[in-house]
Structure 1
Amino acid sequence: MLRTLKDLFDSIAAPQKDPGDREHSLQLATAVLLVEVMRADEGFGESEREAVLHALRQTFPLAEDEGERLVELAHEHARSSSDFHQFTSVLNERLETEEKIRIVEYMWRVAYADGHLGAHENHIMARIASLLHVTHGEYIAAKMKAKGEPLSPL
């Protein structure tokens, strides 16, 4: 298991040649951003962790144990990273706008999982959405969708 975690960890920093490596780095980058939202909340709990796992399983074809390992690795990587750029750049290179908006929506679902939105969570969400080149309107629409509020017509 440790070898698998190391391989996944190394895949984000290494040049991407193998399509499997590209998929792993995309999964890790997504997981780290979701975990960062979870970590922004003081004393995050099981509801946020479950929201992260759910988002990863909705986004990628992961077995149960793969999702758990990915979250563990994302925690490690998030603790040792000083910025979001290395992760958002992976998503910007490989995802279409609609997919990035869906990731932002999942991040909102993680933030709302405990029924409380903290100021630090809100700040991190705005920073990440900006780095993903998600417009303010798309950001708010993702927030409303995650919150379960109907979107108003334009």
Structure 2
Amino acid sequence: MFEKLKQLFADVDDASMEKMTLELVTAALLLEVSKADFQEDPAEIDKIRDILVQHFSVSLGDINAFIDEARSTASDSTSLYPFTRYINDNCNNIEKYQLVVALWEVALEDGRIDKYEDHLIRKISDLIYLPHSEFIRAKLSVMGNT
């Protein structure tokens, strides 16, 4: 019985991982940060659009549909695990650092870093095994640019 349950959960997990892409995972995590302070600021959403267009193959014409897809993916998920697992399986430390920089950029876009945003970024950094010194370096680099 337990083997059947394990297989059922493994099949569901594998199916959700198959549709994941780095762009989608990044967008979902950026959106999670944007709503961590219980306010989805339009400036933060614009920053997410900029990041996705600049760093990924998302075109300006497709960006709104892509963000809607990322929102749907994030709302369907019950945890950060599928996203952080994808990052751990597919990214090196430099890419993880760049992701955390992008998370800080979104959090700071409204002019302040809320304690919930800080907590969520710290949690994501821990889950992707980014060294704490790199987490701090990413935060300081973004705060130094404002």
In the superposition, the TM-score normalised over structure 2's length comes to 0.82
Between the two proteins, what is the percent identity of the paired residues?
Answer: 29
Which ranges of structure 1 fall in alignment gaps of 5 or more residues?
Answer: 1-11, 16-20, 150-154
Q: 2:129 aligns with which of 122, 133, 137?
A: 133
2:54: which partner in 1? Answer: 58
Deviates more, 1:76-85 or 1:128-137: 76-85
SS where residue 64 of structure 1 aligns? Answer: coil
Larger radius of gyration: 2
Q: Give the Cα–Cα distance (whole angstroms) in 1 for the partners of residues 137 and 39 of structure 2.
A: 27
In the superposition, the TM-score normalised over structure 1's length comes to 0.78
> After superposition, what is the alpha-carbon deviation per residue over 1:73-129, rounded to whole angstroms, capped at 9, x for unaligned?
111222222111101111111111101100100000000000121111111111101
Deviates more, 1:30-39 or 1:41-50: 41-50
> After superposition, what is the alpha-carbon deviation per residue over 1:34-63, rounded to whole angstroms, capped at 9, x for unaligned?
110001022221110011111212221221
Which ranges of structure 2 fall in alignment gaps of 5 or more residues?
Answer: 1-14
Indicate how the Cα distance of structure 1 residues 14 and 118 shifts in structure 2: closer, same or farther if over 3 A, else same: closer
Q: What amino acid maps onto 1:100 in structure 2?
A: K
SS where residue 88 of structure 1 aligns? Answer: helix
Contact 2:97 2:135 in 1 (8 A): yes
Q: Give the Cα–Cα distance (whole angstroms) in 2 for the partners of residues 131 and 76 of structure 1.
A: 22
Extract structure 1 runs of 4+ deviating beyond 4 A. Answer: none
What's the RMSD between the two structures over aligned residues? 1.9
Q: Give the Cα–Cα distance (whole angstroms) in 1 for the partners of residues 86 and 22 of structure 2.
A: 6
How many residues in Structure 1 have an aligned counterpart in Structure 2?
132
Q: What amino acid maps onto 2:96 in structure 1?
A: K
Q: 1:39 aligns with which of 21, 35, 59?
A: 35
